[in-house]
Structure formats: C-alpha cells, structure tokens
C-alpha cells in the first residue's frame, strides 16, 4: 500500500514537473534565447545598429515595446478569425478521433437497443481507426 502511494506520488510529481517545464519554464527560456540570438545576429557586427542600441538592455527594451504588443495583436487576430479552432478540425488525427468517438457512441447505443451485430461492427470500426494511428499517419 505504501509502495503504491509512493509510486502514485512519484507520477504526480512527474506530471507537475513536465507541466512546469514545458508550459512555463521552457517558454520563458525560449523567449530569452530568442532575444539573445536576435541581438547577436542583428545588432553585433552591424556598426549602425551597434551605435544606436549600444547595450543589450536598450535592445531588450525596444524588443519588449515592439515585439510583445505585435505578438499579442497577431494572436488576437488569429483567435478572432477562428484559425485556432479551424486548425484543430483540419488536423487528420482530430478528424480520425472524432470519427472513432462517433462510432464508439453509436456502437454503445446500438448495443443498449439490442442490435449487437451492428454494435460490434461499430465498435470494431472505432478500434480499427485508433489502431491505424499506432502504425502511422491516418490518411483516407
């Protein structure tokens, strides 16, 4: 019992670590890395820009003033246009998963109505769709 509790606690901590790293820390490190790379590639070695910006702090200030509002505006426009929603439904995995779930629910409904043969066909079709993803991309 204690062993199972420790194992479950370990997995909880692992999930928390993955969320904290990929969702938050990785994102912050990625932005910092992007800023440093842009500074090194664009400013250093370019006498005109090097004289204008001088230090990384000036570049960082200009970056924050311009890039962050631009990214927010682009994100806002993308959400208002519905691109994020549309992109999800264009994804072939999402399409296959939705089809599989419809067949699963249909099969369960048919089974409760007593139509076991058709229910089994629907459930098998649902399973087959999901198993195709284990082999590779789902393309019809």
* Rg of the chain in Å (alpha carbons): 25
CA atoms within 13 A on the CB side of 45: 5
33 pLDDT tier (thresholds 50, 70, 90): very high
Give the pLDDT mean for 89-113.
82
25: nearest Cα among 33, 74, 37: 33
For the chain, what is the mean pLDDT?
83
What are the tens digits of pLDDT across the range 83-97? 666 565 666 777 788
DSSP state of 136: S
138 has pLDDT over 50? no
Q: How many CB atoms lie within 10 A of CB 54?
A: 11
């Amino acid at each position: 019992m204690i062993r199972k509790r420790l194992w479950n606690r370990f997995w909880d901590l692992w999930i928390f670590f993955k969320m904290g790293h990929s969702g938050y820390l990785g994102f912050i490190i990625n932005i910092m890395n992007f800023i440093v790379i842009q500074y090194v590639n664009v400013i250093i070695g370019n006498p005109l820009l090097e004289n204008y910006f001088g230090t990384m702090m000036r570049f960082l200030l200009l970056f924050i003033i311009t890039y962050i509002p631009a990214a927010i505006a682009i994100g806002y426009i993308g959400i208002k246009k519905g691109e994020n929603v549309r992109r999800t439904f264009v994804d072939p995995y999402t399409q296959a998963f939705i089809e599989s779930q419809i067949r699963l629910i249909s099969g369960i409904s048919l089974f409760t109505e007593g139509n076991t043969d058709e229910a089994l066909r629907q459930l098998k079709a649902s399973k087959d769709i999901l198993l195709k993803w284990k082999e590779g991309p789902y393309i019809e």
